Amino acid sequence: MLSHESPPESLSFWHAQRRVVYRQKSSFDRTGARMSPSTPKKNRTSGRATASGRARKAPPGLSSPVADLPGVGPKVAEKLARLHIETVGDLLWHQPLRYEDRGTRQPLSPEHVGEAALFEVRINEVRPLFRGKARLVCQGVGEGPQGPVAVTIWFFGRFGPTPQAGRSYLLFGELQQGPHGLEMAQPELVAPNQIGQIRPVYPATEGIAQPKLRQLVEAAMEVAVRDLSDPLPGAIREARGWPSLMRALQRIHLPKRNDGVPARGEPALQRLITEELATHILALRQRRAVTRQVAAPAIPPRDHLFAQLLGHLGFTPTGAQQRVIGEIKTDLAQELPMLRLVQGDVGSGKTLVAAAAALDVIDAGYQVALMAPTALLAEQHARNFAQWFEPLGLSVLLLSGQQSAASRREGLAQLADGRAQIVIGTHALFQESVAFDQLGLVIVDEQHRFGVHQRLALTDKGASQDGGARRPHQLIMTATPIPRTLAMTQFADLDVSVIDELPPGRTPVTTVVVRADRRGEVIERISQVCAEGRQAYWVCPLIEEGQIEAQAAETTFAMLGEELPHLNIGMVHGRMKAAEKQREMARFKAGDYHLLVATTVIEVGVDVPNASLMIIENAERMGLAQLHQLRGRVGRGATDSHCVLLFDEPLSDRARARLRLMRETEDGFRLAEADLEQRGPGEVLGTRQAGIAKLKIADLQEDQGKLEEAGQLADELLARFPESVHPLITRWVGAAGQYGQV
Ligand code: ADP
Ligand code: MG
């Protein structure tokens, strides 16, 4: 097909290159021989020969260490481990990043700049270089859309045989626009028999190049022919038109040139993606079943402490709060551990709901632990709960990293002998040194800040404190409105309650979007608001290395101090000591400061109802979920509240759309859906999110549309083929069950 177009010279080049390939192969053999002296040395020219040649030794299986493959010594194995490849089977799940398509020859045209493709070039001049990094520069000419086009080709270091002037070559590489025209750097010289190949390009690591990875994956595919079983029953596959696992993997790793580049939409990929998502759902459900195998203390509903608390507070729970409290009480009354997620937008009053649950548990003689995502929030909750619970004669304990050793020791003693009825802290609460007398309920606030592993670790810690006889109930609270699709995979092990109503008397927050050069007017506005006895927040972008553009909190603090000399200004940022942050927050809450300059550390949970104005700098850089959380700090009192989103130009279309949506809606769910669409699940759930984020083939963002089907598949597998669940989880999530590990 190519012969009439390709001049005979290129064939002579092919022969030269072949020798190089051969030399490389034999060096692999040497490595292999060093590793396992019994491996017979052979002149192998393909992966196929490699596998058949090995047959007389005990052949490696998919669960054998990857070092059992020829060509993998300890050094290579170590590098592979960095790619999470430890067994031969792991190679099968090493998903290509993309494919190189050597099927279509492209014209030399600026249109293809930035693309890796196949170009035919006639070399006119070859010049060696001795300075700089390049070793060889060639001038060539290729066919452009409107006639011949010049191209400069650079070669660096070792590059195989030297191209020769007067000959034509097929070059595979990325076309670039140089200062004097089109260029290519270190292209691959493609032999005629390689044309049309579709080559997977794998995530690589230093010291392991693509050809090596490809060779190893091919070897693993040969092992798979003998050793791979399909965990999906035929009936399931046939109903969906899916290929077998072997065929699906062949399509990914060894695509045939006639079938084109594998696409996400085709059955092979669909099968793997849906299977993976379904398996994660199954793993969480299984984990739930395991958690619930251990009994929890049944807590009878008793309302008298909560009624007393409401009497002190002077408010009645909203209908939504009442409903959710009811759902929790039903769970608590069971001998099965409660596993409930309470979703409620910022300010919906989740703390009161948690308090209602805690009071019943304490009343029944058990202890409660509340875990907050930051020391600041732990401190705030502790203060809040002390105010609420101490008048009822209960003892509230704060455990924090900042405490003196003596007071921590004293706190631990109170927990161990049951004197402290509720303890509040960060994840440090679940360190080994913390022992409970009778832990009955674990409350996790703002769960999205913790990974799924951490969350699940809590119950295990709790249970072991109790001799393993009982597991505490679990209540998880989040202000992140979690789109249904995400909830399905991330929280498939939890029951969900939603507080979909705000306490009365809240006024909507008016949001305005303002260009940063109108800062003066905004500062004027702060002055007015504070003159009316209210308070304001000024949120600066996170102080982070490399964020040079971001105005550090200190700079802003100094600037505002100059502009607003008559106001008291406080500051909190992530680099301050926790105690210092807490002191500043407390002073702001007490009204000592008119204005608080803060980084996004105030994002979650901070509650100062008198604050009615929030200014957010560089709002264009933040995600919707984050902006929504920040904005939720105002509008907590009865006065009209405002949120000013300051932005710097230039503004991308996306950022513009985000800011517009912020102005249009306060509906957390709408914002979360939009965030999920634009920025992916990591943004919605918080960057520290673990668990499902480690998908092998599926991508929560790209494959959202598959989640529904994955849920159905999980149901069907559980109902009709329960025996397939374990093999699926072992394959996709890991032998130990990723979610089961602490
Ligand atoms: P979030 O759900 O964001 O954690 P909080 O629990 O901090 O919200 O509650 C926000 C504010 O609303 C607090 O000041 C709290 O005391 C108050 N609040 C909670 N429930 C009610 C209610 N039913 N009526 C009036 N105010 C309430
Ligand atoms: Mg809260």
Q: How far is the CA of 377 from the centre of ligand 2 (A)?
A: 9
CA distance 181 to 317: 71
Mutation test of ligand 1: which of 351, 374, 477 has the most ligand atoms closer than 8 Å to its C-beta? 351
Please tell me which residue, 73 or 705, carries the higher pLDDT value.
73
For 441-472, how does the pLDDT look when each residue is reduced to its tens digit (9 = 90+)? Answer: 999 987 655 555 555 555 555 544 444 457 89
Q: What is the pLDDT of residue 677?
A: 73
For 543-601, how does the pLDDT look when each residue is reduced to its tens digit (9 = 90+)? Answer: 554 454 334 688 889 999 999 999 999 998 877 777 788 788 889 999 999 999 988 76
Of the listed ligands, the closest to the CA of 634 is 1
For 382-419, how does the pLDDT look when each residue is reduced to its tens digit (9 = 90+)? Answer: 989 999 999 999 999 999 877 888 988 999 999 999 89
CA distance 120 to 601: 56
Q: What is the pLDDT of residue 368?
A: 95
CA distance 663 to 665: 6
Q: How far is the CA of 347 from the centre of ligand 1 (A)?
A: 6
DSSP class of residue 123 equals: E
Ligand 1 atom index nearest CA of 344: 2
Cβ atoms within 10 A of the Cβ of 205, count? 14
Secondary structure (3-state) at 3: coil
Give the 3-state secondary structure percentages of the chain, helix then strand then coil, rounded to 5.
Answer: 45, 20, 35
Which residue, judged by its Cα, is nearest atom 26 of ligand 1? 503
CA distance 614 to 634: 7
Is the pLDDT score of 115 beyond 60?
yes
Alpha-carbon distance values, 702 to 132, 374, 680, 698, 733 (Å):
43, 32, 9, 8, 20
The CATH architecture annotation of domain 98-201 reads Beta Barrel (2.40)
Is the pLDDT score of 736 beyond 70?
no
Q: Which residues pair with 98 in a beta bridge?
A: 201
* Omega cis (within 30) before 650: yes
Cβ contacts of 93 within 8 Å, gap of 6 or more? 696, 697
Q: How far is the CA of 345 from the centre of ligand 1 (A)?
A: 11
Long-range contacts of 556-562 (CB under 8 A, 24+ apart): 556/597, 556/617, 557/597, 560/523, 560/526, 560/595, 560/597
Across 95-123, average pLDDT: 86
Q: What is the pLDDT of residue 716?
A: 94
Across 75-95, average pLDDT: 91
Q: What is the pLDDT of residue 49?
A: 42
Indicate the pLDDT class of residue 356, thresholds 50, 70 and 90. very high
Cβ atoms within 10 A of the Cβ of 240, count? 14
Across 341-364, average pLDDT: 92
Q: How far is the CA of 354 from the centre of ligand 1 (A)?
A: 11
Alpha-carbon distance values, 503 to 283, 349, 642 (Å):
37, 7, 19
DSSP H or E stretch at residue 522: helix 519-531
For 469-487, how does the pLDDT look when each residue is reduced to its tens digit (9 = 90+)? Answer: 578 999 989 877 777 667 7
Of the listed ligands, the closest to the CA of 345 is 1
For 658-668, how does the pLDDT look when each residue is reduced to its tens digit (9 = 90+)? Answer: 999 999 998 88
Q: How far is the CA of 640 from the centre of ligand 1 (A)?
A: 17
Is the pLDDT score of 683 beyond 60?
no
Q: How far is the CA of 383 from the centre of ligand 2 (A)?
A: 13
Q: Residue ranges of the domains in the chain?
A: 98-201, 304-499, 509-665
For 513-540, how does the pLDDT look when each residue is reduced to its tens digit (9 = 90+)? Answer: 999 999 999 999 999 999 999 999 999 8
Across 172-200, average pLDDT: 87
Q: Where are the alpha helices (DSSP H) in 390-483?
A: 405-416, 452-465
Which residue, judged by its Cα, is nearest atom 18 of ligand 1? 349
Is the pLDDT score of 278 beyond 60?
yes
Burial call 556-575: b when 16+ CB within 10 Å, e when fewer: bbeebeeebeebbbbbbbee
Ligand 1 atom index nearest CA of 607: 7
- Tokens for 508? 């909507």
Query: Which residues contact ligand 1 via a Cβ below 6 A?
Result: 315, 317-318, 321, 344, 346-352, 479, 503, 605, 607, 609, 636
Of the listed ligands, the closest to the CA of 608 is 1
Q: What is the pLDDT of residue 666?
A: 87
pTM equals: 0.67
- Overall fold of domain 509-665: Rossmann fold (3.40.50)
Q: What is the pLDDT of residue 234?
A: 94
Which residue, judged by its Cα, is nearest atom 13 of ligand 1? 349
Q: How far is the CA of 430 from the centre of ligand 1 (A)?
A: 27
What average pLDDT does the structure give for the chain?
81
Q: What is the pLDDT of residue 218?
A: 95
State which amino acid sits at residue 297. P
Alpha-carbon distance values, 683 to 110, 544, 671, 729 (Å):
36, 17, 12, 26
Considering the chain, what percentage of its residues have pLDDT values greater than 70? 82
For 621-660, how does the pLDDT look when each residue is reduced to its tens digit (9 = 90+)? Answer: 888 878 888 898 888 777 889 999 999 988 888 889 999 9
Please tell me which residue, 287 or 323, carries the higher pLDDT value.
323
Fold match, 304-499 / 509-665: yes
Please tell me which residue, 679 or 480, carries the higher pLDDT value.
480
Indicate the pLDDT class of residue 179, thresholds 50, 70 and 90. confident
Ligand 1 atom index nearest CA of 321: 23
Q: Which residue has the tokens 């020769």?
A: 164
The CATH number fitting domain 304-499, selected from 3.40.190.10, 1.10.3260.10, 3.40.50.300, 2.60.120.380: 3.40.50.300
